[in-house]
Structure 1
Amino acid sequence: MIADMDSTAEKIKVWFRFVPREGWFPQDTEGLWAARLSADTARVQNVPFLQNGVAEGDVVRFQTDSDGLHWAVGRVTSGGNCTIRVVPIPSGPLGRSPQAVHQRLSVFRLGGEVFSKDFPMVALTAPAGADFAGIKALLNQGKEEGWWHYEVGCGTDEWWNA
């Protein structure tokens, strides 16, 4: 959905460094596809599974190292989108099904990706202008009813105030 805005731009991978969370994945980097906008800026084109504080559509500044890798050094502007991560509870009514997660949230038309078959976390982009209050209500309902665990990896003021 966001990718169309930059369809003629060079597609690059921008890498993010972070401190691994205890009890979470051991990775300390994540690469996100982005459309190059200038010598040192790019617009993120996919939803982050691990990196907090950035969402699809955000513009980030990067530095290119001697190996040609582009490392994020900060967010320049927010695209207004939010990153939500949902993990279905295996013993819950949705089982380990990322498709069931998508189905429950389909009314909101959220774009997203599944981490892996072994770990069916669904990373979703809640676009600017979406029904944030409705999304939050359904996420909380699902948490209370044992469907899933969720976290907000990147929220805007509009998200937090909804």
Structure 2
Amino acid sequence: MESAVEMIKVWFRFVPREGWFPQDTEGLWAGRLSPDTARVQNVPFLQDGVAEGDVVRFETDSRGLHWAVGRVSASGNCTIRVVPDPCGPLGRSPQAVHQLLARFGIAGEVFSEDFPMVAFNAPFGGDFHGIKALLIQGEEEGWWHYEVSCATDEWWNA
């Protein structure tokens, strides 16, 4: 019988970007692997350099919060953030963004109703060339703005 993985929140600290959100931390759900490592289980909205499936090392503070101190191993997944252009053909619809990217079998999470940014996990072995082409097309045609916040050589070379 398999034992259940303990889910914990691993917190990341970063310097807020100018013109972006004022937060300087983000908590990501992770499955504990050892006393000081965990596998990230969701897509980051704010933290750069980490993707779903990555294994991170953390330290636990006196309040019991788990703070990331580095990445142990990369999953090969990539993190992409897409914000629909409210003046474009998709309006503010994160659902329309999802529909356009669904053909690649990728899923995303919406930041909030007020700010409909969608954070996507592009899985290792996915159609990175096709995803990149659609992201570029969408930006050129005014559908959205996007950024790649964690990528692999496979992504950049696709």
User: TM-score over 0.5 for the alignment?
Assistant: yes
Q: Which amino acid aligns with 2:107?
A: G
Equivalent position of 2:143 in the other structure: 147
1:133 is displaced (CA, Å) by: 0.4
1:9 is displaced (CA, Å) by: 1.0
Q: Identity over aligned residues, as a percent?
A: 81
Between the aligned partners of 1:141 and 1:35, the Cα distance in structure 2 is 36
Establish whether residue 22 from structure 1 lines up as the match of residue 51 from structure 2: no
Q: What does 1:72-91 correspond to in 2, within 5 Å?
A: 72-91=68-87
Runs of at least 5 residues in structure 2 that lack an aligned partner in the other structure: none
Establish whether residue 53 from structure 1 lines up as the match of residue 49 from structure 2: yes
Of 120, 142, 146, the residue aligned with 2:116 is: 120
Establish whether residue 130 from structure 1 lines up as the match of residue 123 from structure 2: no
Q: Which runs of 4+ in 1 moved over 4 A?
A: none
What's the TM-score, normalizing by structure 2?
0.98
1:19 is displaced (CA, Å) by: 0.0
What's the TM-score, normalizing by structure 1?
0.95
Structure 1 residues 25-84: Cα deviation after superposition (integer angstroms, max 9, x where no partner): 000000000000000000000000000000000000000000000000000000110000
1:7 is displaced (CA, Å) by: 7.9
Between the aligned partners of 1:155 and 1:7, the Cα distance in structure 2 is 32
Runs of at least 5 residues in structure 1 that lack an aligned partner in the other structure: 1-5
Equivalent position of 1:35 in the other structure: 31
Equivalent position of 1:102 in the other structure: 98
